[in-house]
Amino acid sequence: MPEIVPQEFTSELDETWHAWLTRRFLRYCIFSLLAIFVISIISLSIDLYQHEHGEFSRLTLAFLIGNSPAIMTVVAAYFTVKHKKPNREKLLRAITWTIAIYGISGLAIGPYIEYRLSAAYTTTTFAEALKPTDISFGVLALYLLACIFIPWPPREAVKAVVPLWVIGIFMVSLANTTWTGETFVRCITVILAGAPGLLLCYARARKYSSEFYIGRLTRRYTDLKRELQAAQQIQNMLFPEPITDAPIQARYYFEPMQQIGGDFLYIRHKHDANKNLLSLTATLIDVTGHGITAALAVNRLHGELERLYAEEPDASPARVVRALNKYIYLTIAKQSIYATAISIKMITGQKHLIWANAGHPPAFLVPENIDTNPTQLDSTCMMLGVVPDELYKPAENTLDIQSTDRIIAYTDGVIEARNSDNQMLHVDGFLNILRSAPAKTDINELLDSIATSLRDFRSGPPDDDILVLEMKQP
């Protein structure tokens, strides 16, 4: 099997190749029988034209008798392969034997019968009547014709030509009773007569394997792309709907590096009996890594947050961070997957917020006057999953806010974005983007302005997942 095909495709290639080999061998059998029939008809027509009484010439009779074993073998092989559908090993064995018997008929039996029926029978020996060039040409013609039809794998192609080599060398040796340099050269010529067929088989095998590999990769890529699109839809379902018409508003901008990513936002609402919003807790998570691995981790963390809030509806930001740390440490940290997170809670009617930051980039409390330095919501504990629960002591901070203030939280993909000069944006660059945003924009316009500025700064697609959250309490 050509090495161009990876191991995972070998079994599938074998099955495809076996079906192809079967079809081509059956065609070879039909062609061989038709060729013998056509040559016989042509020879017979020449006989009828050249001889007054229409008797067979010795050449025609030798051809028919000499090819009788080959005809019977080809017919038997055809019906055996067509109806019994042998496995790969038996099929290759049947093909090899068919070619071998074809070689015996064409290189040995045919010439001998022709000799016995010729006038030279009484004046020369069979060895003297043999022509080494005819033997080499016979090996070339028989094997090349077989290789044109039969797509042997290279190793099997060598096995198939060995019987022809043995028969050819034997006939050359018979024609030269004493071994000389000329005899050796003629034996080498017999071996070289199989070279065109071997080269054809090797080139075809490489081409077929390459096309097969590319075709399967293309199909796998198409399947994977389709599955990623489905996975993207499922991951998007985990994200919350923007909140723009409530006492506490929240909206986000998400741009994964790939179709799915490891940045995630979970928003917990608490309502009273009249469906009035009492509080809102937003938890922004950034899982290490990208793509499918990170997205699978996000899916598990979403389930853990669902479980936590089902058991503890009033869980504080510190409790959320601690629960996530315990879960990650006991599960996905074993695969070296960790995360950072920031959990921010705002209560309706109260002019303060509560937060816990687990190794996450600092969020900003941005006042209406952007020229005033924003207040940073710095880290209050280490990242998630590094230490066990008994050693993890997340702190929780409180910060007063005004109705015009905005909370901007983000993942590290924002501040690690690079421009065409390979310069990172950094925290200061992100603050400049915030300062350049139009004054007194609503919650939708500010995020749109940030997204546009990030795309303008970057030199191409993002190098990391990007998630930006904006919260405010009008």
Number of neighbouring beta carbons within 10 Å of residue 347: 18
Fold exhibited by the domain 239-472: Phosphatase 2c; domain 1 (3.60.40)
Using one digit for the tens of pLDDT, what is the confidence trace for 177-228? 677 778 888 889 989 999 999 999 999 888 888 888 888 778 888 888 888 7
Query: Residue 446 — very low, low, confident or very high, per pLDDT cuts 50/70/90?
Result: confident
Angle at 443 between CA 441 and CA 445, to 5 degrees: 55
Q: What are the tens digits of pLDDT across the range 246-277?
A: 889 999 999 888 778 889 999 998 888 888 88
- Name which of 417, 454, 376, 409 is nearest 284 in CA terms: 409
Q: What's the pTM value of the predicted model, to 2 decimals? A: 0.65
On average, the pLDDT of the chain sits at: 85
| Sign, CA torsion 24/26/27/33 | positive
**What pLDDT score does 370 carry?**
63
pLDDT at 388: 95
DSSP bridge partners of 287: 339
Sequence spans of domains, the chain: 7-218, 239-472
Cα of first residue to Cα of last residue in the chain, in angstroms, is 70
